[in-house]
């Protein structure tokens, strides 16, 4: 604006060439060009100052609900693996050549089912020889008895000395013992013939064969005998686990012992569908690890559970208690603390430290730090910051239906819900 003032205040008409005023024409052209620019700048300033200020964004909206209050069973969690209730190494009891195999690798076999046949001919011949020995022993015994009977009738008339009679009596006893030995050999040779058919000692799932037909196998004591295959009994089946000393003490104080109920879920399952009971607890803790070995037993009529399979187990030790439950997604980790976000009466967000329990039917049990009338943020926790205002929508906490497990042939049905109805 100051550049325009000299032009407006100049009352004397001056030539355009500026000779009379002493100012150059260049200066006058610059003044005329600068004047519209200054006017535009002033107008922009007026418009800018008159624009209204931008409104503040509304507070975020979250969904809140009061905790679900239900009766639940207190569980302690363990991890472990399934083991066969019985495991047998099948080894031959007689030596010879394998002539036939009567099973398919990996199939389910029943106790007494034929598995292998070993060439029986040598043992059949030995049995026939033993039976011939019985016939010879019977003949010797019959002759000894006849001689003794004749001598017994002559002893009264002094036809035979008493020493001769004693000798004949001893001969009868010796031939009787020889007959018994011959009969025992027959039974032993008959067992050898029976053992040429190797049968399943227990029912269960059989492994693959370790020898094929035509191979020679050797009998022996224990591991000296040839290993033919193995069989694992799967019904019932064991679940072995290790528990910490703290959990062991808690279970002992709660009175948990043999026959305490347990539940197991597999790696691809979200619900504890396999039911059983505690079967065994070791008699000492491992001094190196501070854990104790335990075992549970489960029915497995359809043989779906397999040894070596991993599982999560929970053991009922605390009875039934009244508990508050919230979705697991409502739990916020604040460094080393676990908190839940609640909305107060004035609409501000506050963080409450809580003590967590197990997950039951998709909901987390809160053991402490939460009240029944607290409005817990269940949706929108990432937008709710402690100390800020929020808008709320009413929600409801309900048990989560377990996801369907992958289909399994003849798998047992899912157990009853843990929550009390």
DSSP letters along 13-54, please? ---TT-TTTS--HHHHHHHHHHHHHHHHHHHHHHHHHHSPPP
Three-state SS at 155: helix
Residue 415 backbone zone (phi > 0: left; psi -120 to 50: alpha; other: beta):
beta
SS (H, E, C) 382-407: CCCCCCCECEEEECCCCCCCCCCCCC
Closest alpha carbon to 377 in 68, 65, 69, 67: 65
Residues 6+ apart with CB under 8 A from 325: 67, 68, 69, 70, 72, 360, 363, 364, 365, 366, 397
Q: Which candidate, 197, 202, 182, places its Cα nearest to that of 94?
A: 197
Tokens of 369: 């730090």
Taking CA atoms, 341 is separated from 2, 195, 323, 327, 370, in Å, by: 63, 73, 18, 12, 10
| CB distance 366 to 357 below 8 Å | yes
Q: Write phi, then psi, for 416 (nearest 5 degrees).
A: -70, 155
Q: Report how far apart, in Å, the C-alpha atoms of 213 and of each of 96, 121, 197, 406 are.
A: 11, 16, 13, 39
Q: What is the pLDDT of residue 229?
A: 96
Q: Which two tokens stand for residue 105?
A: 């690798």
Written as tens digits, the pLDDT of the chain (421 aa) is 444 444 444 444 444 444 444 455 554 554 445 555 544 444 544 444 545 556 778 888 999 999 999 888 777 889 999 999 999 999 999 999 999 999 999 999 999 999 999 999 999 999 999 999 999 999 999 999 998 888 888 876 677 788 888 888 899 999 999 999 999 999 999 999 999 999 999 999 999 999 999 999 999 887 889 999 999 999 999 999 998 888 888 888 877 766 788 999 999 888 889 999 998 999 899 899 999 999 999 999 888 999 999 999 988 776 678 889 999 888 998 777 899 999 998 889 999 999 988 777 788 889 889 999 999 999 988 888 888 999 889 999 988 765 555 555 444 333 333 333 2
What confidence score (pLDDT) does residue 6 get? 45
pLDDT at 405: 53
Q: What is the pLDDT of residue 319?
A: 65
Closest CA to 8 of 40, 31, 36: 31
Taking the C-alpha atoms of residue 128 and residue 131, their distance in angstroms, rounded to an integer, is: 5
pTM over 0.85: no
Instruction: Give the model's pLDDT for residue 362.
Output: 80
Angstrom distance (rounded) from CA 228 to CA 212 = 9
Selection from 272, 219, 257 nearest residue 77 by Cα: 272
- From CA 273, how far away is CA 416, in angstroms rounded? 8
- Transcribe 232-280 into DSSP letters: EEEEEEEEEEEEEHHHHHHHHHTT--TT-EEEEEETT-SS--EEEEEEE
- In sequence order, which residues have a C-beta less than 8 Å from that of residue 174 and are 6 or more positions away? 144
Element (H, E) at 358: strand 355-360
pLDDT digit string, tens, across residues 369-404: 999 999 999 998 888 888 899 988 999 998 876 555
């Amino acid at each position: 604006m100051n550049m325009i003032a000299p032009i407006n205040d100049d009352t004397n008409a001056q030539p355009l060439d500026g000779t009379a005023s002493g100012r150059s024409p260049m200066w006058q052209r610059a003044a005329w060009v600068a004047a519209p620019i200054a006017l535009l700048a002033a107008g922009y300033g007026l418009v800018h100052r008159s624009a209204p200020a931008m409104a503040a964004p509304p507070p975020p909206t979250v969904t809140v609900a009061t905790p679900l209050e239900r009766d639940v069973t207190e569980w302690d969690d363990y991890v472990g693996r399934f083991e066969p209730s019985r495991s047998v190494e099948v080894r031959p009891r007689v030596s010879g050549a394998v002539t036939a195999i009567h099973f398919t690798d990996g199939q389910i076999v029943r106790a007494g089912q034929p598995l292998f046949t070993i060439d029986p001919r040598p043992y059949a011949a030995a049995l026939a020889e033993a039976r011939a020995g019985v016939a010879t022993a019977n003949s010797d015994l019959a002759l000894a008895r006849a001689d003794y009977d004749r001598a017994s009738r002559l002893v009264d008339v002094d036809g035979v000395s008493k020493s001769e009679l004693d000798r004949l009596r001893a001969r009868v006893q010796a031939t009787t013992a020889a007959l018994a030995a011959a009969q025992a050999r027959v039974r032993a040779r008959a067992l050898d013939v029976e053992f040429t058919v190797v049968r399943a000692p227990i029912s269960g799932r059989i492994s693959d064969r370790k020898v094929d037909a035509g191979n020679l196998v050797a009998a022996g004591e224990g591991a000296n005998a040839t290993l033919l295959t193995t069989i694992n009994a799967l019904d019932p089946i064991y679940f072995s686990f290790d528990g910490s000393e703290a959990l062991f003490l808690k279970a002992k104080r709660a009175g948990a012992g043999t026959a305490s109920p347990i539940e197991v879920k597999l790696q691809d399952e979200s619900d504890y569908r396999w039911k059983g009971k505690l079967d065994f607890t070791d008699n000492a803790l491992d001094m190196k690890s501070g854990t104790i070995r335990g075992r549970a037993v489960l029915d497995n009529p359809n043989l779906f559970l397999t040894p070596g399979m991993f599982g999560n187990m929970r053991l009922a030790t605390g009875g039934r208690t009244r508990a508050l439950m919230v979705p697991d997604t409502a739990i916020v980790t604040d460094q080393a603390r676990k908190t839940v976000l609640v909305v107060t009466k004035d609409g501000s967000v506050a963080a409450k430290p809580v003590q967590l329990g197990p997950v039951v039917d998709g909901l987390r049990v809160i053991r402490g730090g939460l009240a029944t009338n607290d409005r817990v943020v269940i949706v929108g926790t990432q937008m709710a910051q402690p100390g800020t205002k929020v808008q709320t929508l009413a929600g409801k906490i309900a048990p989560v239906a377990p996801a369907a497990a992958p289909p399994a042939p003849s798998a047992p049905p899912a157990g009853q819900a843990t929550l009390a109805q």
